Amino acid sequence: MRIFGYTVDISKRKAAEEALEKQKLELKIAKARAEESNRLKTEFINNMSHEIRTPMNGILGFAEMLSMPDLPRKTMQSYTKIILASGQQLMRIIDDILEISELGTKQAQPIIKAMCLHDLLLELFAVFGIKAKEKNIPLYLNVKLSPQECKILSDKSKLAKALSNLLENALKFTNKGTIEMGAYLQGDSIVIYIKDTGVGIEKEKQKIIFERFSQAEKKITKKVGGLGLGLSIAKENVELLNGHITLDSEKGKGSTFSIWLPSGIEKKQKLAQPENLKPNIIKVLIAEDEEVNFLFLEILLLKLDSRVKVIHAKNGQEAIEIYKKNQDIELILMDMKMPIMNGYLATEALLEINPDLPIIAQTAYSLEADILKAKQAGCCDYMIKPIQEKKLKQLLKKRLRPKIKL
């Protein structure tokens, strides 16, 4: 018995079928993306219409009311404020639309030049600190960079735009807790972060929130407003600066947005500086729970002597913990009224560790009894708020001479 058979090479046909299936899948994905993009754009246009009409109603409606006869002066001033606020809101919307269009056409070019990061963060803190107070949300600034490290090459306006959008976002989605803005050095990068205790973002939505017109929390966004462009504008501006943004967030626990940028322009010079030419660092700890008061003292200290390294404690307990780890601190400016542990108890505890540690009391009270209480706790001197530069200078001269030259 003979059996006859033949073979046919179907590998090419199989490869063609697989290629066809792959092409169909790619077309399906492309179609889904196009439909999603179209849906987002339609949603964006509808949302934009609502966002523009809201301030326009305020402008036109209250402008018409201003023409009413015998309108009381206070009412007139109130209507004028509403018109101005609505006008500013409309301008922000228009600015975002124009900026995203410019970024989309790749026309935006950064103007890179030397800038001081600390100055920029102080400017933003001053602006957004007022907005945070209106919401009763404490805004903190925590810059862990030396004056040398704060000197970077970047586009100040684009970096300010990115940080402003991140701060606006943090304020929008934080109803209780705190917001913190800060910067530190990580390897060859400067990291600037905005940390909040807001609503947080689910893991599966964290990738899409930087896309244009995307909004992770649509129900909340409808209440607080917005076009869904802020994070996209921030991301694209940071990428123009040769940087990138990362996100660490947990639903219900808040978010931390971090901007990673190339480090300072004078880093190599600093590393190459001979040991005998390095300035002597003077460590000063400021224990102060009010961020504005801390910043004021920090600016004064750095103005008086650039060698001063300022360390911040937000309460007495934190001041003790910091000093235990940094016993080369040479002076403490202690606010007497702080949460968790007040300045009196903190001073007593610190002097148990080092009886010779100079601690200067900061107090808002000028009564003899309060000053005596600070001295009894162990404070060597005191300053009454508002603190005067002249008084601070005198006390620094007295307590840090001959190390500090004023």
Query: Is the domain of 84 the same as that of 215?
Result: no
Query: Is the domain of 33 the same as that of 55?
Result: yes
Q: Using one digit for the tens of pLDDT, what is the confidence trace for 109-143?
A: 888 889 999 889 988 988 888 888 888 998 988 88
In a domain, 119, yes or no: yes
In a domain, 273, yes or no: no
State residue 212's pLDDT score.
Answer: 63
Query: Is the domain of 386 the same as that of 288?
Result: yes
In a domain, 272, yes or no: no
Query: Is the domain of 161 the same as that of 196?
Result: yes
Amino acid at 157: S
Judged by DSSP in three states, 218 sits in helix
Query: Is the domain of 203 the same as that of 243?
Result: yes
Query: Is the domain of 124 the same as that of 222?
Result: yes
Which has the closest alpha carbon to 217: 173, 171, 168?
Answer: 173
- Residues 6+ away with beta carbon under 8 Å from 332: 284, 285, 286, 287, 319, 323, 350, 357, 358, 359, 360
User: Model-level pTM greater than 0.75?
Assistant: no
DSSP state string for 17-56: HHHHHHHHHHHHHHHHHHHHHHHHHHHHHHHHHHHHHHHH
State residue 246's pLDDT score.
Answer: 92
Task: List phi, psi (to 5°) of 219.
Answer: -65, -45
State residue 341's pLDDT score.
Answer: 93
Query: Is the domain of 315 the same as that of 236?
Result: no
State residue 45's pLDDT score.
Answer: 66
Query: Is the domain of 150 the same as that of 240?
Result: yes
In a domain, 7, yes or no: no
Q: Indicate the number of domains in the chain.
A: 3
Our CA angle for 36, 42, 48, nearest 5°, is 130
- Give the CATH number for residue 184: 3.30.565.10
In a domain, 405, yes or no: no
In a domain, 137, yes or no: yes
State residue 227's pLDDT score.
Answer: 52
- Give the CATH number for residue 59: 1.10.287.130
Query: Is the domain of 199 the same as that of 247?
Result: yes
Contact 58, 85 (CB under 8 A): yes
In a domain, 216, yes or no: yes
Query: Is the domain of 157 the same as that of 79?
Result: no
Residue that finishes a domain, picked among 213, 233, 267 = 267
State residue 268's pLDDT score.
Answer: 44
Residue that finishes a domain, picked among 104, 134, 168 = 104
Going 228 to 231 to 232 to 237, the CA torsion angle's sign is: positive
Task: Please give the Cα distance from 211 to 164 (Å, whole number).
Answer: 18
Q: Using one digit for the tens of pLDDT, what is the confidence trace for 47-61?
A: 666 667 778 888 888
Which residues of the chain are modeled with pLDDT < 70? 1-8, 36-51, 104-108, 212-228, 264-279, 366, 401-406
- Please state, in angstroms and as integers, the Cα–Cα distance from residue 180 to each residue in 138, 141, 142, following that order: 8, 6, 7
State residue 99's pLDDT score.
Answer: 72
State residue 270's pLDDT score.
Answer: 45
In a domain, 4, yes or no: no
Tokens, residue 182: 């800060």
Residue that finishes a domain, picked among 79, 104, 129 = 104
Sheet containing 254-262, strands listed edge to edge, beginning at the edge strand earlier in sequence? 139-144, 179-186, 189-196, 254-262, 244-250
The residue segments making up the domain with residue 249 are 113-267
Query: Is the domain of 141 the same as that of 246?
Result: yes
Query: Is the domain of 349 the same as that of 305?
Result: yes
* Residue 364 neighbours by CB distance under 10 Å: 12
- Give the CATH number for residue 337: 3.40.50.2300
